[in-house]
Structure 1
Amino acid sequence: MTVKKKPAAPPRKKTAVKRKPSPRKKKKTNKINTNLIIALTGIALILLSPFYYGYVLNTFSSAWQWVRDFGKDPHYRTYKSFDINIPTKYTVHGIDVSYAQGKIDWHKVKVMQEDSVHITFAFIKATEGVLLVDPYFKRNWREAAKAGIICGAYHYFRPEKSGKWQARFFMQNVNVEKGDMPMVVDVETLKGASPEQMRKELKAFLESVEAKTGTKPIIYSGLSFYKDYLQSYFEGYRLWIAHYYKPELKAGRNTQWLFWQHSDKARVNGINHTVDFDAFHGDSIAFRNMLITD
């Protein structure tokens, strides 16, 4: 009798045993996620920080300024604080003001500085013609000197009026003292007068002031007006010449100028309006020697 063998059972499939992640591996993943969150948070804080944007803007501004100044005269550079280009070969700088600048905080003017540029002197409008006194003159004259700024007064000349009477009116309203700059006459227009009449009245003005003060006044004028109507007529008088936005004042070799008004749009702390900016033609010793001594 033949015994039949039972068929062998099919092999059982092995089921893969699911392994739980090791605690060490889980801890490592958490650490990576934490570091990533910290890094992203730090980047976000930097990007949102006003200091970051200030740094970026400042860097961009400096780079752009370098591009703007590339190839320009290195002796005529931009001073960001004053918002103008300033010729760098001059060391004594100043401003000139009138009622147009309003009420000025002269202490802020005095302490403002960028690199070596700061305000040493100020010409202040006092009078005009034979009747007008600048409404801010007395305050400016007092407060600028109190802040330590060396002052000079100027008169706006009206060629159609008597030069002698204008000089008298000017000196009645201005009391110059030792350490002040010489008095200034501002002549920049004919106002309907002929060149001959203008020069006649200007001569009378200059002689009257010199006779009274013992010091020759300074003549202020624009470069074109000076060349057209004044050049060679007033030899011996020191000049203050206006000529804007140039790296150098080209007034001619024989022109004896003391001051150069090279910009009319400077920004100065303490003044809520643009203001004229000036340079003295000489060093600090020459500037001191130019001041009134009696």
Structure 2
Amino acid sequence: MKFRVLSKFIFRRYGIWIVALLVLIIGFWIFRSRRPDELNWRFVQAFGIRLPMHYTIHGIDVSRHNDRINWDKVRRMEAEGVRLQFVFIKATEGATLADKHFDKNWREAKKSNLRRGAYHFYHPTRDPIKQATNFIRHVQLNPGDFAPVVDFEVTNGQSDETIVNGLKLWLKTVEEHYQIQPIIYTNGNLYRQYIKGNLDDYPLWIADYSTKHLRRYNPDKLYLWQHNQAGWVQGIRGQVDFNVFVMSEDRLHDICL
């Protein structure tokens, strides 16, 4: 009985401090349990978006939808101490289409000292060998360029088997030609349904605008993260996709010729 009375007295007098202490203990435990790569998340407002500053290598990707680009302005732009260091440029689509601005963008990106890469927009309803041939016919890669990229973001109502087998054929054909593993670009949903468990050996470039951590993706193969599609860059009309290289800088050569 005396213990119960004493407990009520202590809680009545010190209850708020006990609760505060418990909150601090729980908060400290959660903080200590977070992964080290989550402890340094820092964002700044730059290029019209929130830029993840815990990564140091920033870049963009462009296509004909960005119209004519003033690459000199792109090269010279700086925001919050950040300059763009790389660009991926759309080269081809399907079995026959080529981006009308690719050749000029490819040349000018090189002149602007941006590390460059070329990507192919993949259609599961088209012959994967012909699509690979279309890309190879239009894209000459040089040492220092990024590995070829297959842009996989539509399924066109095709079966899982058709999609996975077609991607395998495209990747194999392109790898044999350039002698380097291509990069797979896709979003989180398509990654989980088609890439994970089927094409885990290839470097991954993921488009995910809803998160600030990347634990759901294979950390050994995730090299690039497209974190925003609404950036702004001098010399480019309209909104621009923004990306970061998420590995340590000495791993950049893994995905370059």
With the shorter chain as reference, the TM-score category is 0.7 to 0.9
CA distance in 1, matches of 2:98, 2:218: 36
Q: Is there any run of 5+ residues in structure 1 with no aligned partner, and where?
A: 1-72
**Structure 1 residues 83 and 189, CA, compared in 2 at 3 Å: closer, same or farther?**
same
From 127, 134, 138, give the equivalent of 1:173: 138
From 86, 106, 114, give the equivalent of 2:51: 86
User: Tell me, what secondary structure is at the counterpart of 2:83?
Assistant: strand
2:217 aligns to what? 252
1:147 aligns with 2:112: yes
Residue 161 of structure 1 deviates from its aligned partner by 1.0
Cα contact 1:157–1:166 (8 A) shared by 2 = yes
User: Tell me, what secondary structure is at the counterpart of 2:104?
Assistant: helix
**Structure 1 residues 179 and 252, CA, compared in 2 at 3 Å: closer, same or farther?**
closer
Q: TM-score, normalised by structure 1?
A: 0.71
From 85, 96, 102, give the equivalent of 2:67: 102
**Structure 1 residues 268 and 245, CA, compared in 2 at 3 Å: closer, same or farther?**
farther
Residue 187 of structure 1 deviates from its aligned partner by 0.6
2:50 partner letter: N
Counting aligned pairs with the same residue, the percent is 37
User: Tell me, what secondary structure is at the counterpart of 2:65?
Assistant: helix
CA distance in 2, matches of 1:157, 1:220: 10
1:217 partner letter: P
2:3 aligns to what? none
1:77 aligns with 2:48: no
1:75 partner letter: W
Cα contact 1:154–1:183 (8 A) shared by 2 = yes
1:193 partner letter: Q
User: Tell me, what secondary structure is at the counterpart of 1:221?
Assistant: strand
**Structure 1 residues 116 and 291, CA, compared in 2 at 3 Å: closer, same or farther?**
farther
User: Tell me, what secondary structure is at the counterpart of 2:85?
Assistant: strand
Q: Is there any run of 5+ residues in structure 2 with no aligned partner, and where?
A: 1-38
CA distance in 2, matches of 1:109, 1:283: 25
Q: Which has the larger radius of gyration?
A: 1
Residue 251 of structure 1 deviates from its aligned partner by 2.5
From 228, 238, 243, give the equivalent of 2:203: 238
CA distance in 2, matches of 1:108, 1:283: 28
Q: TM-score, normalised by structure 2?
A: 0.81
Q: How does 1:1-294 map to 2 (within 5 A)?
A: 75-80=41-46, 82-254=47-219, 256-292=221-257
Residue 132 of structure 1 deviates from its aligned partner by 0.7
